[in-house]
Each structure stands twice: as structure tokens, then as C-alpha cells.
Structure 1
């Protein structure tokens, strides 16, 4: 008799469950730690510094904690489906801008409050979905990817003087050879292998680039030697600093993130059990998302969200067991409690990270385009896309254009994601639909 794993409460044999848990970790590991590195760098943290290592540790630790909120659950919190949580790219644009101008204390405070709002959304998320059709959600995700791509190119070319890279070596062949190695190896593994190997393509590409960077003398292991063996967890490590503009910006992205989690919960139920997600599962997934974000923010972690690439693993393996993803969450918690793991990641030269994020951020933009492909490209929809992107990305590229606005509104206006989302929602509500001809 063949055992079926389409029931989330059924656990495969331990010899199968543990490797599957590691597979979920490998698929999301690089994407999980990258946002913390980018936001930390924007805040002025030196590469390999204890503060940056700390942010990386918190990203791993609270990705694991948030995953347990989803898979194990607490009362109505958690979908109790195999949904892997991780640090969200959606917030990077907003948080990097806030951290650069107002500091990490303001950014993390906004994360805490945004997480609480996100949690509250769980009670009525199903009633808000109409505000975020594929036109709006796709536009926001596309804006996130387009905003981040220049960051990826900057990293691949060697960072910049402020990131402790010599200005005259920016764009050197040495830097680009490392970044291109990451890209080429990632693509080869992704498209010419299968299973766990294919799902770990980005991580293995980063390892290949890391190896080349080591050979070229670009790796400094001093922070690894100096790192401890156990993470000290401190509430509000950067204080509690309220800024209305930062809170509004993070909250707007939280709403989009909540809608994305609804999609992931629905996709997981379809992929693993060929059924629709229940209202309780969707609400529980949203509650867990918000709670994970708020708790992470209290201890220095960035917002969490469901990871879509792990939905693909459920569909590929056909194993719906939430307990497999619980194992993955426990692995992330263990990694987060060992600072030497974070120090190894923080010792990664910027061109190595740049090669990885060129692929990752490009995929974010491509995911947005994929969602937009579901809509009809009428004149109305094209105008919404054009105006929303023009305002969102344009004001971010030329922040002095709104330099005389009050601080709160200026933070919102130049965050790229928030103005794109706000403009897209408003235009989608007020512009009349064209009559079919």
C-alpha cells in the first residue's frame, strides 16, 4: 500500500523528512539573508561588522520562528500548511531608504507596527482582495524588482567607496568575473539538473563565486574567527523610534505582502492536495505572517513573508506534510543561533552577492511581469501601469523633486514601492473600464 502525503498532518519517514526539510532551506536560504545585508549596508553598517552579522542572524532565526507559526500554529494563527517563511524582498526598497535617511531604529519600529497591522488584516483579508487585482499586485512587484536591479549591478561591480571597496576598482574585471561566475553556475545548475540540486541553484552559484573570490584574495575571514558560537538576543537593539511616513510606507507594503501570502497559501493547497485553501487557512497564514514580522522587528529582524519558491517544492515532490517544513524552520533557528554562520555569510565579497541578486531581483521583476500578463493590455490598464511606474520610480530616482514636502510625506513619496502601490490602487478604482468592442 502506497502512503499518500497530500494530507498536511501526515509525516514521511524521518529519513525522508529531514532531507526534504534541508531542501526547503536550501531553496530559500540566499533569498532570506540578502534583504538584511542590503538594508544593513544602506544604514551604513560595514561589511563583516558585528552589527551586520547580527542582522543576518536575526533573519535566519526569525525566518525559522515565523515558519513554526505557520506550520505548528497557535490557536487561529498559522495555516498549518507546508508554508516556508523568510525575510521579504518586498520591503527592501522602503526599508533601505528609511534606514539610510532615518536609521535602523526607525526602520525596525516601522516593521513592528507594520507587522501588527498585517496581523490584524488576517481577520478580514478575504474582503480586501478586490483592491489588489493582478494589475495592482503585478505593478507593485515589478516596481520592487526594477528598484532593486541597480543595487544588484552596483554590488556586482564591487559596491562603492562607502561599502569599503576602492573607488578605482569599481567595475573591474576581477569583480565582474566573480559576479558572472555566480550567474553562469546558477543558470547551469538550474536548467541542467533536477530535484534538490536544481532548487539550490542560487546557493550553489554563490558558493562557486565565493570559491573564486577566495582564490583571488577577496575574502576576509577575520570576522568569522572573531564571531561567537551563540547569538545574544536583545529586544529593541536599535531602540523604538516612531516616524509616521516610515510606518505608512511599511504598512502599505504589508498589505501587498498579505495578498501575496494569500496566493501562496492557495497555491500550496492546490499543489499538494489539489484543493482550494479554506478561509481559516488563508486567515491563519496572514496572522502568522503579521506575527512573524512584528516579533522579528522587536529583536532586529526584517519583515517575513511566505516564500513562493518553496511552494514549487511542494508541487514538485507532491509531499504536503507541514512537519517537513517544521524541520526546515528548526534548521533555520539553529543557524540563527550560531553567529559564526552569519559571519561566514557576512564575509562574502559584494561581487559574489551581486551575481546572486542580479538573478534574484531580475526574477522579482519577472514575477511582476508574469502577473501583469494575466490582464488585458487595454489603454486604461496601460495608462495605470505607465503613470504608477513613472511616479513610483521617478520620484525615487530624483528625490530632490519633492525636497520641500514635509518629512513624512517625502519618505513615502521617494520609497518607490509605496507611491507605485498607492497610485495603482487609486487609478484602478477611479478610471472607468473601457467598453468591449
Structure 2
């Protein structure tokens, strides 16, 4: 419900209105709390896939801290581009930017087991993909026809399905423990920490109100963190060492890991930029509709897309990850009724300050992998749920069912087969060139391309043809009885 004590209804719907600081600052911090865990999680996942050691004495420890630091810093920078704007870059709306989950299945094959050496090609893809994403701002309105809910819903669902395995591995004790055959992997102690996070998160989400409900995942991880200390998963000495080994202040370093322009990386990031751009269009529309009761203008949609791409390209130069608008903050605007972009600017400044203080990353790094697993199970499951929600808008004609079936079967099949094969063992894509093998391994890009192409070339008339019996007696039209014999 809108609180009229912080402004009149007309003022609250105005992006240029600034509430009093005693109100604006808590609202800005609230936006940060709603996205904080989601924002730093991709850095931890990519670092784990690259084989970074997570201990404070590990030689990779400074690199992990740096990746977390850049996730915070450039989420803040990209958010400022959206709220303050620079020329045509930015929507001048309360859009919160953060590290995108969508690119994780692209990044993991690029860095898998390569340590720091795998980051150069990945960040080359981030930079080029970001520039390409910015260019989409000039045509985003004209290419939306190629990305209907059938395509975007499929891709978002596939992204979530690619990530849910990570949540289970984390909850069971982490990939390093699994790879080494540690007896602790999958132990009750590991699972108990994840289940504590899940229980607290669900309890707050459904039985609390206000800030506790909005920040349910963050509070759940904090409670799980305390439980991990009590249960012996984490020692106070480890926390102290991590804090002491992290600097109090540090500036970003351009091309810290070098830069390499790999064909596979560039193609992968550019293709996923389409999906990210459409997601941003949806978020901008959600903000204007939920916060101001109007449709988004072409200028706002183009500006938001520019900011997505420019923010991503700048982040890649300094070792940051692709940025996109965060949907949870769209819901927060609709709930609070505060449309002020300056409130989000305050949150952006807070993120930038955190990104310049590596000690913040040092504390985040001490979160046990099992505790983080409890949180990401919820987050990645919500990605799947968001995709299914998009698919609910699809008219499930015979034509659309065929498109979905073929794209999902090939995409998910490749994902399950190629990514779950032991290193050195044969896989379904082993005879393809390296570039195509890397692109196909995620499953998401093949699924997206198949869905886009079939949606453009298959005739609409197919939807009106008489249905044929398929396995299980399914029919292509909702509300029709299958013509074949029912079992």
C-alpha cells in the first residue's frame, strides 16, 4: 500500500521526485538488500567452475575477492547509468542493475577448470557482448517480434534448469568436495545448513511482512551463516583471517586478467544479449505500469537497453560480469509505490562503496558453500518459475507445441549429455569444432536458435490443422478431446 506520508500520490508516481532523506535512504538500502545475494552469486559460481580455491590461504583468494568486488561496484555503476543517464544511455527510471544469471551457462564452459587463465576469453566476450547489447537499443522495438513469450519463456526456463544442479551441489558440500570424493559431500551436516536457509527463507517470505519478507533470502543466509558457525562448518578464526587478508580500499584494475577475443565467447554473449535485452524491456514495462500506471515510452526502453549494454562493456574491461535489470526490484517498486529514480540512485552509491571495499567481499567469501546452496536453490528455482510464468502467456496451439518440444528436447538433451560427461570421455558434440562445441554445451543457445528459427519459418496455418494423436493422448488445442483411443 502506498504510504502518503512520504509524498502525495502524484509525487510518488514521478520518477524525478525525491522523498525526504530519512525516507529515501532506507528505501534505497532496501533495494540493495533485495538483490544483494543474487548479485554476488554468479561471481562465486564462476570462480568455483574455474577451480579457484576458496580458503583464505589459497593463492586464488585475492582473485575471488576481486570478482565479488567488481560485481558490487559495476552493479552500482550500471544502476547509475539507468537513473542519472548519460545522453541517450539510461531510462531515467528506478531500474536496479545487477549481475545476470542468464550468462552463467555460457561462462562456465569458457572457464571450467582453467583457473585465472580462462578469464581472458570470458571477459573479451563480456566486452563485445556488451557493445552488441548496446547496439540493440537502436532496434529493440523492431526485433521484439522474433522473441515472443514462447521463445523467451523457453530460454528463461532452460537457464533455470541449467542452474538448479549447481544449487544441489552447493547444498551437498560444493563441487571441490564432490570432485575429491570427500566423505563430507552430501552429509547431514552439509544438508542441515542448506535446509536451515530454506526454512527461514520460506517462513519469512510467506509469514512476514515488509523488509523481512522482501529480504527473505538474505536473512535466511545470515541465519544459516550463524548456524554454520554453531555447527562447526565455519570457524570464527577463518572469518577473522578473511577480514584481515582483505584490503580496506581498492580501485578496479583495467584488463587485470588480460583480454582475448574468442569466437565462441563472442557469439555466446551476443546471442544471450538478445534474451537479456528482452528481459529488460519487460522490466521497464513492469516498472512504469506498476509504479506510474502507464506504458513505457520508446525512449525509456531504448535508453534502458543502451545502459544494459554500456554497463556490461565497462564492467568487462575491469573484470566485472554482464549486467541486467533485476526483476525482484520491479516488484519492490510496485509494492512500495515509490517511483523515484533518486531512491535507487542512493542504493547504487551504496553498491559502489561496497565494491571499493574488498573487506566486504572478504566477509561474503566466508559464507559456507552449503549455506549459499540453500539460498541459490530458491533463486534458481524462481528462475525456472519465471520462465514457466512467461510460457503461461503462450497460446498452446499444435504449432507452438511442436516448436517447444523440438527446442527443449535438443537443448536440454545436449545440456544433460555434454555437461555431465567426465573429462576426456566421448560426448555428443566431440566431433564439432571447438567454437561450436562450447556454444552447444550449454544447451540454451541451441534451444533458443531452434525456437526462434522455427517460430519465424513454420506457417501459422499449422496451428489450425486437425490435431493428431501423440503419446499419452495429448492434443494440440486446449479444450479439445484427443481423437485417438484413450488409455
TM-score interval, smaller chain: over 0.9
d(CA) in 2 for partners of 1:128 and 1:172? 49
Aligned CA-pair RMSD: 1.5
Could you tell me how far 1:165 is from its partner in structure 2?
7.4
Displacement, 1:377? Answer: 2.0
Matched with 1:240 is: 259
**TM-score, normalising length: structure 2:** 0.88
In structure 1, what is the equivalent of residue 431 of structure 2?
404
Aligned: 1:335 with 2:335: no
8 Å contact kept, 2:264–2:438 = yes
**In structure 1, C-alpha distance between the alignment counterparts of 2:149 and 2:158, rounded to whole Å:** 14
Looking at structure 1, the residues matched to 281 and 291 of structure 2 have their Cα atoms a distance apart, in angstroms, of 16
Contact 1:109 1:242 in 2 (8 A): yes
Decide whether the 8 Å contact of 1:47 with 1:163 is kept in 2. no
How far does residue 391 in structure 1 lie from its aligned partner after superposition?
1.6
Unaligned runs of 5+ in 2: 56-60, 419-426, 467-487
The Cα shift of 1:42 comes to 0.7
Alignment pair present for 1:303 and 2:322? yes
Question: Structure 1, residues 185-211: CA drift from partner, whole Å, max 9, x if none?
Answer: 001011111122111000000001111
Paired residue for 1:151, among 144, 158, 166? 166
Count of residues in correspondence between the two structures: 437
**Counterpart in the other structure of 1:64:** 76
Structure 1 unaligned regions, length at least 5: none
Question: Is structure 2 residue 124 aligned with structure 1 residue 95?
Answer: no
SS at match of 1:128: helix
Rounded to whole Å, the distance in 2 between the matches of 1:409 and 1:26 is 39
Deviation at 1:383, TM superposition (A): 2.0
How many Å apart are 1:121 and its aligned residue?
0.6
- The alpha carbon displacement at 1:379 in A equals 2.4
Within the alignment, does 1:351 sit opposite 2:366 as a pair?
no
Question: Residue deviations 1:357-414, cap 9 Å, x none?
Answer: 0000000000000000111222222222222122222212222101110111111111
Q: Does 1:423 align with 2:425?
A: no
1:79 aligns with 2:91: yes
> TM-score w.r.t. structure 1 length?
0.97
The aligned residue for residue 16 of structure 2 is: 9
What is residue 51 of structure 2 aligned with on the other side?
Answer: 44
Relative contact order higher in (CA < 8 Å, ≥ 6 apart): 1
Matches within 5 A, 1:14-29: 14-29=21-36
What is aligned with 2:394?
375
Query: Once the 2 structures are TM-superposed, how far is the Cα of residue 164 of structure 1 from its aligned partner?
Result: 8.6
Shift of 1:430: 1.8
Conservation of the 8 A alpha-carbon contact between 1:249 and 1:415: no
1:160 lines up with 2:211 in the alignment: no
Q: Secondary structure at the match of 1:305?
A: strand
Distance in 1 (CA, whole Å) between partners of 2:365 and 2:63 is 10
- Distance across 2 between alignment mates of 1:328 and 1:193: 23
Q: Which has the larger radius of gyration?
A: 2
Q: Distance in 1 between matches of 2:76 and 2:310?
A: 13
Partner residue in 1 for 2:271: 252
Q: How far does the alpha carbon of each residue in 1:70-98 deviate from its partner, in whole angstroms, 9 at most, with x for none? A: 00000110000000000000101111111
